[in-house]
């Protein structure tokens, strides 16, 4: 089937950018992105493309080009489902916070609601594409709902996981390493797979489009995230050993990364990985393995999370210890709050947990982040439920620029690797601080020698 109308349920960090790129590259396809969240849709429709809800380099230009031409954002989910031949499900799949599997399993309630809505509305055959990251064998549940509650029409379920990383979403979507499409091995399944292959073939070469069975595709997504996160936990584990032995983790990473079997990427030691997916997807993997009785497999992957939690806590402990074992009433400046540079996303950002630890020690935190609003930071703190909103408001001050945030601080902690942090007048910042002035570089982005020559006491990760 030649696809001319696509609907995507979920206008978030994946649905928005992915559909914007499909619309840009396929002007002959009408793409409608729908969401229950009225504010989010209103923001996507903001006449000023600079004000769209997600910050990603290059995204506003693509939205400006395609929006109103063949890219539409709407809250009318039923209508978009009814019109489309192909429906992407791109809703959130967070860790369950209740019941069986609490704290580990993926919460599939939003996925099930989508499946039920598609079943209710669809009057013609549809291809349903899992874009969200899902536990292996979720397609079975979706198929069962569609077939048992639908109007007798035929559904084909495809798995098409998304591998974009935030901050580089547009380049990742334009030049993907691969596109993965899983489907049934029946003639109808193969026809559905081909329909989706033809959509991507508008800009991705066919030898980068990999087709598999549904279960391999679903599990490959969890596996990819687990392997990436494992590399970070591995290098972070080494960073602690480096600090004890006089080795330098940056040098170690460079030395091992030049081995072509290991490769240089994802070897940057840090305060710990954040983001909405690594932790949730590994916990999900751990839960799935456990539910099949594979205890060794589940323990193996759980260690990646245990190491990451340790790394975040180790960073805040180091600040307290270095500041003479007390940070009570001391001002600690945070540069960065986003979970990585070039995004306004703060989900699971290490900054939140480090701030929480330090506020428990009665520190005063002053934050500057180029893209994250004060309200977002405060709501991240409130979400932890460690203390009241009023207490968070008193302990966390947000500034419009780094120089103000660092003024009169006892220490600076770098929590996000924003490029602009490397361009500052660090002498000016040093002069405005309490002495001795400490820097805890949780991203190893600053020039230690230069800062030490100014007078800073510099602490990187793993050196
Ligand atoms: P998100 O929270 O930013 O967006 C999800 C959107 O779905 C929300 O706006 C929500 O209102 C909407 N939604 C939920 N239920 C709905 C329903 N029944 N009808 C209409 N709208 C509904 O999430 P995200 O970051 O875009 O992630 C979506 C999925 O993609 C997750 O499974 C995630 O694991 C996966 N993923 C995310 C990334 C990433 O970089 N964020 C990358 C790859 C994969
Ligand atoms: C990650 C994967 O890279 C994507 O392929 C995947 O699609 C996505 O998860 C997802 O499923 O959501 P993302 O979380 O957006 O993407 O960003 P990453 O670049 O992977 O960074 C994740 C975290 O690890 C960040 O906090 C980053 O600072 C940290 N990190 C990354 C390190 O500490 N060291 C590194 O070497 C690399």
List, for residues 315-353, the tens digit of each pLDDT value. 999 999 999 999 999 999 999 999 999 999 999 999 999
Q: How remote is the CA of residue 229 from the centroid of ligand 2, in Å?
A: 7
Identify the pLDDT of residue 50. 83
Atom of ligand 2 nearest to the CA of 417: 28
Q: What is the DSSP string of 388-454?
A: -HHHHHHHEEE-SSHHHHHTT-SEEEE-S--GGGGGS-HHHHHHTS-SS-EEEETT--S-HHHHHHH
> How far, in Å, CA of 218 to CA of 227, rounded?
15
Identify the pLDDT of residue 233. 98
> How far, in Å, CA of 38 to CA of 426, rounded?
43
Predicted TM-score (pTM) of this structure: 0.97
Residues whose beta carbon lies within 6 Å of some atom of ligand 1: 9-15, 34-37, 40, 77, 90-93, 110, 113-114, 132-133, 162, 164, 166, 276-277
Is residue 277 among the annotated active site residues?
yes
Q: What percent of the chain has pLDDT over 70?
A: 100
> Considering 7, 8, 114, 277, which one is annotated as catalytic?
277
Atom of ligand 2 nearest to the CA of 345: 15
Nearest to 433 by CA among 307, 335, 359: 335
Q: How remote is the CA of residue 128 from the centroid of ligand 1, in Å?
A: 16
Band of residue 1 on the pLDDT scale cut at 50, 70, 90: confident
Identify the pLDDT of residue 49. 82
Atom of ligand 1 nearest to the CA of 117: 18
Identify the pLDDT of residue 15. 98
Pick from 7, 20, 35 the residue to mutate for probing ligand 1's pocket: most ligand atoms within 8 Å of its CB. 35
């Amino acid at each position: 089937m030649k696809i001319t109308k696509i609907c995507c349920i979920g206008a978030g960090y994946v649905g928005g950018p992915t559909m914007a790129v499909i619309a840009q590259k396929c002007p002959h396809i009408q793409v409608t992105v729908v969401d229950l969240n009225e504010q989010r849709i209103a923001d996507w429709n903001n006449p000023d493309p600079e004000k769209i809800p997600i910050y990603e380099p290059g995204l506003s230009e693509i939205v400006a080009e395609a929006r109103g031409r063949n890219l539409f954002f709407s809250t009318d989910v039923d209508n978009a489902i009814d019109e489309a031949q192909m429906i992407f499900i791109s809703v959130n799949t967070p860790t369950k916070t209740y019941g069986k599997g609490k704290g580990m399993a993926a919460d599939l309630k939003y996925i099930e609601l989508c499946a039920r809505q598609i079943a209710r509305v669809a009057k013609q055959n549809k291809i349903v594409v899992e874009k969200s990251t899902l536990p292996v064998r979720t397609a079975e549940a979706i198929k069962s709902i569609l077939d048992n509650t639908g109007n007798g029409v035929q559904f084909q379920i495809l798995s098409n996981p998304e591998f974009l990383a935030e901050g580089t979403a547009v380049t990742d979507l334009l030049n993907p390493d691969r596109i993965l499409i899983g489907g049934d091995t029946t003639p109808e399944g193969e026809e559905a797979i081909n329909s989706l292959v033809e959509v991507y073939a508008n800009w991705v070469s066919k030898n980068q489009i990999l087709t598999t069975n549904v279960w391999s595709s679903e599990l490959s997504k969890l596996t990819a995230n687990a392997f990436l996160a494992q590399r970070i936990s591995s290098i972070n584990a080494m960073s602690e050993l480096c600090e004890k032995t006089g080795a330098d983790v940056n040098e170690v990473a460079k030395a091992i990364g030049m081995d072509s079997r290991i490769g240089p990427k994802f070897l940057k030691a840090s305060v710990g990985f954040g983001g909405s997916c690594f932790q949730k997807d590994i916990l999900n993997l751990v839960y799935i393995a456990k539910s099949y009785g594979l205890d060794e497999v589940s323990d193996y992957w759980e260690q990646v999370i245990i190491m990451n939690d340790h790394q975040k806590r180790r960073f805040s402990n180091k600040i307290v210890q270095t500041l003479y074992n007390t940070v009570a009433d001391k001002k600690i400046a945070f540069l960065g709050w986003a979970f990585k540079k070039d995004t306004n996303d703060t989900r699971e950002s290490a900054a939140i947990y480090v701030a929480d630890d330090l506020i428990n020690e009665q520190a005063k935190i002053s934050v500057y982040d180029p893209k994250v609003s004060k309200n977002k930071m405060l709501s991240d703190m409130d979400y932890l439920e460690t203390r009241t909103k009023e207490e968070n408001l008193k302990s966390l001050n947000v500034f419009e620029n780094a120089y103000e945030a660092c003024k009169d601080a006892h220490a600076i902690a770098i929590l996000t690797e924003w490029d602009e942090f490397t361009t500052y007048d660090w002498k000016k910042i040093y002069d405005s601080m309490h002495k001795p002035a400490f820097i805890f570089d949780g991203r190893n982005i600053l020039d230690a020698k230069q800062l030490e020559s100014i007078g800073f006491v510099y602490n990187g990760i793993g050196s």
